[in-house]
Structure 1
């Protein structure tokens, strides 16, 4: 804390108050002599007058000359200070000149920065730094691909900070995606949770492309803004992989994308994802008889996706060991495409079920195991993805999200 300056001149500590006008010549010695025989402060009545005061504008010119962000101010103040110094006999000419020189250098530098566009980059950096400070005060941030431990060891409840750790070892969670919500007023906890559900369950496939390689004890969590952090500019939702019980933790990275897979594996999984997305678009009504028109539209989407998937698989040049297994798989996918197309045409519920059942047989997960082994991908279907659940692969249907509210596994045969 700063102490306020005294209201006026003060006597040295330990001495009695002195006559403010000092001693006239011939009056004899002062009752309290000073080291040099005169008082250190007076108003011109002493035989040894105080030196002229330093011009205040000269001091200001020097200060502003040192401040590179306001060079022109120092230049102007220096000119004014020189004029006052000449008129009043004050000191500070050197300060004024130094301030003018520094201001001149600063002005030239500023002109150069403006001419080269450096000012824009500078202020962008300042603004970005300010945003980071603001965001840092609102909430911590984690990047996709990072693994971390929470302070309490649990992924449930409030989190105020996390400790980033290597993904190779044990950790509480792994970040697979981030996305930003639109600006505006706080939408409410339910709206934020719905947004996290919708986006995180979709974004997982771009990070963990091979869903067969994700352990059965892994679930999806997310960090979301709170009302308080929203008011400070926090709009980011982070999508995480964690243990199903929230505390068990993970070991090793779950990343399966172009940074960890070869070109053939990526091509296979990208084709699989085309069908995944179509299967995930099933009607909310699980029974065909409750929404036959909706299921017929879904069947059309699945048939079209199978056609696109077949084209992608046929258009890729596979390694020698995978050519035949992929070709066999393509034949089943084409037949499944026809079954879905027939289901889309029918107006009879029983007929729809018949074509749907045959389509599931053709995309049974077991039919893709050979191709997966040849490509070096995971070859054990995840638990819960079997033929009865509509979870066969056929290049991708195993990812249809059975039980997720909209997958092929929700259709009851």
Structure 2
């Protein structure tokens, strides 16, 4: 009996091969050093047809209905290329064509009814900030939905200043970029700048009603992320249940040259008086009060110089001259208060100097110039209309 040679048998047996002769190669590459699962070698997978980019674009535009005509055209071009090149994406192209056709039909209906015009008007207004707190400009008056100038507001309604309103804008300024500074820092910046800017718009503090104070609109952390950096300064009523009527604007455009000169001179004193120390008594901050008295003395020197250099009309010449004499004496008393060696001496000179700056000669000079004659009964540079005088937008 013959013994069969060793090796695999059967119809798939490759059989022995003479030395140096290689077996015939099959349709698959030989097994490499990294076998796949179950001992099978890695084969070469057939390549998939590319996906047509225009088909995807047509589908996206069809879903968005943003420019339906473009989506329809891209879908038709994609179908033609898919047939010609054998690419994938026919479903996307067909869906894009259908959706774009529906969107195009809706646009035609909207155009015929004017809905698109209304949409774009609203979009344009929103981009400009119209109808929102962002759109307020100097000299404009407005109402708020709840009538309050505290808390958070998202929109305002501009109204003529002759009508009842909640606020009147007198200035605005931009903050530097960077990360959101926080509510406290925004409030501090608004408080400092808005009180400093009010005199440029309402130069005559005597003409401001006693129930009017400074408020402001500041960005929120959310609006800051969209690029909002503006703080809007405004006048409002300290009583939330009350409104304002008529503009408080009182600047160079609405004053005659004599009135304007007088208020510019008086502004020296106003700004110095605003710097009064926060301590309630002289004893609590004697050094600070001495510095302040020196500032008031220098401000009075500047006011007297401006008043003396101006040529006043006949009816105001003598009243202004009498005022100058009182202010010159007051300047000396404030200077002595700045040099006082103790609180008692400070109080003595401070009292004399203060009485002279609020003497009747001020009222007489103002009356001769046609300015307000009722002294303000509220201090400038305070805390606004309460603990939270600002709106966030």
Bin of the TM-score, shorter chain as denominator length: 0.5 to 0.7
DSSP-derived class of the 1:248 partner: coil
Query: TM-score of the superposition, structure 2-length normalised?
Result: 0.64
Matches for 1:13-412 after TM superposition, within 5 Å: 133=127, 140-384=134-378, 401=380
Give the structure with higher Rg (CA). 2
Structure 1 350/257 Cα, relative in aligned 2: closer, same or farther at 3 Å?
same
TM-superposed deviation, 1:402: 7.9
5+ residue gaps, structure 2: 1-61, 63-70, 81-123, 385-393
Structure 1 6/338 Cα, relative in aligned 2: closer, same or farther at 3 Å?
closer
Deviations 1:231-267 (A, max 9, x none): 1111000011111123422110000110111111111
- Counterpart CA distance in 2 for 1:289 and 1:157 is 37
Structure 1 138/375 Cα, relative in aligned 2: closer, same or farther at 3 Å?
closer
- Counterpart CA distance in 1 for 2:225 and 2:322 is 56
DSSP-derived class of the 2:374 partner: coil
Deviations 1:81-132 (A, max 9, x none): xxxxxxxxxxxxxxxxxxxxxxxxxxxxxxxxxxxxxxxxxxxxxxxxx9x9
- Counterpart CA distance in 2 for 1:376 and 1:243 is 25
Higher relative contact order (CA 8 A, sep 6+): 2
Structure 1 403/182 Cα, relative in aligned 2: closer, same or farther at 3 Å?
closer
TM-superposed deviation, 1:149: 1.9
DSSP-derived class of the 1:259 partner: helix
